[in-house]
Structure 1
Amino acid sequence: MDVEVPTRTVVEALVRPDGTVDAGELYDVAGALGMSDQQVRLCLKRLVAEGKFSQDGRGRRAVLRMTPEALRAAEPDVEFVRFMYRQDAGEVTWDGVWHLVAFGVPESQRPARDALRDAIVRFGGAALHGGLYVSPHDWEELVEGEASRLGVAASVTFLTSADLRVGAERDPAALAARLWPLAEVAARHERLAEVARVRLRLLGEEPDRTALLRIAVEVAAEFTRAVEPDPLLPPELLPQPWAGARARALVARCWAALARRSDELPALFQTYTGVIRSDVV
C-alpha cells in the first residue's frame, strides 16, 4: 500500500539530532518515495526562503541546517503520544465528567475567534451549539492557554457536568457517536493498520539505510494523518474493539523494529521510539 508523503515532510523527517539534513540522503529517500530531484530542489528553495533552513553547498553534497525556531516548532508532542498509548493500555480511565467550553468573542476580533475555534477542534472538542464545545478530557489548561495567547481569555467560559444530554440522548457512548465522526476516524486508523502491517514485513527483511528511512517516513506520515483528527476519546465512549488502538499497537511494533537500528535514525524517529518503547513495547 502506497503512502502519500509531502516533500516537505520528508525534509523535516530527516533532520538529525544536530539539526542538519544530509542532502544526498534526502535525495535518495525522496527518490525511493517516487519524488524527482527537481521536486526536492523546489521544496528546499521554499524552505530556505521561509527561513526554516539554511543551506551550505549545492546539490547532493549540500548540508541543510534547520533554524532553532523551526526546530522548536517541529518537535513532536511527546506527551500527546504518551497519553494516547497509556489510554490504549487502560492506564487512563474516564471519570464520567464532561468538560465544556463556551466563548463569545466579538466580531471585531474575528481572526482570534476563528483561531480559537480551530484550536478547540484540534484539541478534540465537539460542537454542541454555536460557540459551545465539549470534551471528555480535562482540557481547560490547553484551551485557556490558547485563549490567552490570542488575547480573548476574558470571553471564554469553562464548566463541567456529569449529566450531559443532547435532545433525549444522555448515554455517554451514544453521545460520543453522535458528536464525533467516529466512522471517519476509524477508517483512517484501518488504513494506518494496513500500512503498518506491510512495513512490518519489510522491516523483517533487514532493509538497507535508504529503505529503512523510507519505511520510517511512511509510517510517521500515515500515523500523523490518522491521529491528528482523532479526539482520543476514552475507551468507555468508543465501539470495541477500537480501530485506533489496534492500529497504534501495530505502529508500536514498527517502532520497536526500528529501535533496533535507532542509531541510524533521524531525531524525530529516535523520539518516537523512545516514547513508545518506554510505554508500550
Structure 2
Amino acid sequence: MTESPAAAPSEPAPPQISTRTLVFALLREDGTVDAGELYTVAGALAMTDQQVRLCVKRLVAEGRFTQEGRGRKAVLRATADPTGAIAPEVEYVRHAYEQDRGLAPWDGTWHLYAFAIPETARQARDALRDALLHLGAAPLQGGLYVTANAIGPIVEAHARHLDVLPSLTRLTTRDLRVGDEDDPARLATLLWPLQAVADRHEDLAALATARLARLTGPDRPTPTERLTYAIELATAFTAAMRPDPLLPPELLPRPWIGTRARALAAECWDALREEDDHARGGLRLFRLYDDTASDAPLRDDTP
C-alpha cells in the first residue's frame, strides 16, 4: 500500500477587512485616495463596487472626505488624517520592537492606578477605565489597575483632560501579590489573557509567512497583489497589537510568538519596500510601518 503524498500547507485565511479600512489604507501622503485604485484593490479583496460606493458615500456624509469627480475617476480628499483606523500608534509599535530587540528591559516595578469617580461623572470614569485598558493595564479589583510599563504621564494626561485628575492615585511597588501569588511571570498569566494575545500573533505570523514566501519567490505578485498584501498585513498586525499589553519579555512565555510575528511582519514590509518603492512612497500606510518596523535586526528569542 503506497502512502499518499503529504498535502501542501493551506493558505492562512486573510483577515476580514472592511471597506472603510481599505479606504483609510489607500490614503496617500497628499491626503488623497485614488478611486480607480480603490475599486481595483477592493475587487482583489472580493468587495463589490456597490460596497465601495456606499462606503464612500458614508465617509463623505460624515465629513471625513470630500469627493471630486465620479466613479473610478474620482479623487477622495481627506479632511483629517484617519490612518489610525489601519495602524496602532507609532510610539506603541516602536516600543514593541524595542522590547523585541532587548532595548527595554523590565526593572521589576509594577505601576498601579486607582480612582473612585462618582456616578455623576460616569462618562469620565468609563473613559479613564478604557484608556487604562487600551494602554495595557489589567484590573485588580474595582477601580484599581496594574501594568508593568511606566504609562503614568499618559494616564495623568487622560485624567486631566477628563477633569478627574484629583480622583486618580498613582503608586509603584516591587512587591505585588494577588492572593497567594507573587511570582511576576505567573502574575502576568493570571492578570492578562496571554493565550488570546498569542493566538492573534499566531494568525499574524501565519499570514506574514505566506505573504513573504510569495514576495520572495519566483512567481512575483502584481502591483495590485502587493498592495493587497500590505493592507492584509496591516490589518492583521493591528488586530494582534491592539489587545497586546506589551508586557516586558521577562513576564512572557519563552519563546514568545509576538516577537516572531513582529519580526516576520518587518521582513514583509522590507520585501514590499524593495518590490515597489514608488507605491511605498505614496501611501501613508507604508510610512507608518516603515518608521517603526525596519530599524534593526531583532534579537534571538530562544528560551
Q: TM-score range by the shorter chain?
A: over 0.9
Within the alignment, does 1:264 sit opposite 2:262 as a pair?
A: no
Rounded Cα–Cα distance in structure 1 between residues aligned with 2:16 and 2:227: 15
Q: TM-score, normalised by structure 1?
A: 0.96
Deviations 1:108-144 (A, max 9, x none): 0001111110110000000001000000010101111
- Taking structure 1 as reference, are residues 221 and 171 closer, same or farther at Cα in structure 2, changes over 3 Å only? same
Aligned to 2:153: 141
Aligned to 1:179: 191
Assess if the C-alpha contact under 8 Å between 2:83 and 2:285 holds in 1: no
Aligned to 2:75: 63
Matches within 5 A, 1:211-226: 211-226=225-240
Within the alignment, does 1:236 sit opposite 2:250 as a pair?
A: yes
More helix by share: 1
Gapped regions of structure 2 (runs ≥ 5): 1-11, 299-303
Within the alignment, does 1:109 sit opposite 2:121 as a pair?
A: yes
Rounded Cα–Cα distance in structure 1 between residues aligned with 2:111 and 2:290: 32
Q: What amino acid is aligned across from residue 223 of structure 2 in structure 1?
A: R
Rounded Cα–Cα distance in structure 1 between residues aligned with 2:49 and 2:93: 33
- Taking structure 1 as reference, are residues 166 and 143 closer, same or farther at Cα in structure 2, changes over 3 Å only? same
- Taking structure 1 as reference, are residues 17 and 69 closer, same or farther at Cα in structure 2, changes over 3 Å only? closer
Gapped regions of structure 1 (runs ≥ 5): none
CA RMSD of the aligned region, Å?
A: 1.5
Assess if the C-alpha contact under 8 Å between 2:207 and 2:233 holds in 1: yes
Rounded Cα–Cα distance in structure 2 between residues aligned with 1:223 and 1:21: 22
- Taking structure 1 as reference, are residues 70 and 61 closer, same or farther at Cα in structure 2, changes over 3 Å only? same
Within the alignment, does 1:245 sit opposite 2:259 as a pair?
A: yes
Which of 6, 25, 34 lines up with 2:46 in the alignment? 34
Within the alignment, does 1:165 sit opposite 2:182 as a pair?
A: no
Assess if the C-alpha contact under 8 Å between 2:65 and 2:77 holds in 1: yes
Rounded Cα–Cα distance in structure 1 between residues aligned with 2:84 and 2:46: 29
Larger radius of gyration: 2
Matches within 5 A, 1:67-146: 67-68=79-80, 70=82, 77-146=89-158
Which of 184, 190, 199 lines up with 2:202 in the alignment? 190
Within the alignment, does 1:274 sit opposite 2:291 as a pair?
A: yes
Rounded Cα–Cα distance in structure 2 between residues aligned with 1:72 and 1:181: 24
Deviations 1:139-176 (A, max 9, x none): 10111111111111111000000000001110000000
Deviations 1:252-280 (A, max 9, x none): 11011012123213111123123211244
Which of 146, 149, 152 lines up with 2:164 in the alignment? 152
Aligned to 2:224: 210
Rounded Cα–Cα distance in structure 2 between residues aligned with 1:72 and 1:158: 29
Q: TM-score, normalised by structure 2?
A: 0.89
Rounded Cα–Cα distance in structure 1 between residues aligned with 2:266 and 2:157: 31
Rounded Cα–Cα distance in structure 1 between residues aligned with 2:204 and 2:194: 15
Assess if the C-alpha contact under 8 Å between 1:259 and 1:270 holds in 2: no
Aligned residues with identical type, % of pairs? 56
Rounded Cα–Cα distance in structure 2 between residues aligned with 1:8 and 1:268: 14
Quote how far apart the aligned CAs of 1:206 are. Answer: 2.6
Aligned to 1:9: 21
Deviations 1:44-89 (A, max 9, x none): 1111111111100010000000113646887752211111001011
Q: What amino acid is aligned across from residue 156 of structure 2 in structure 1?
A: E
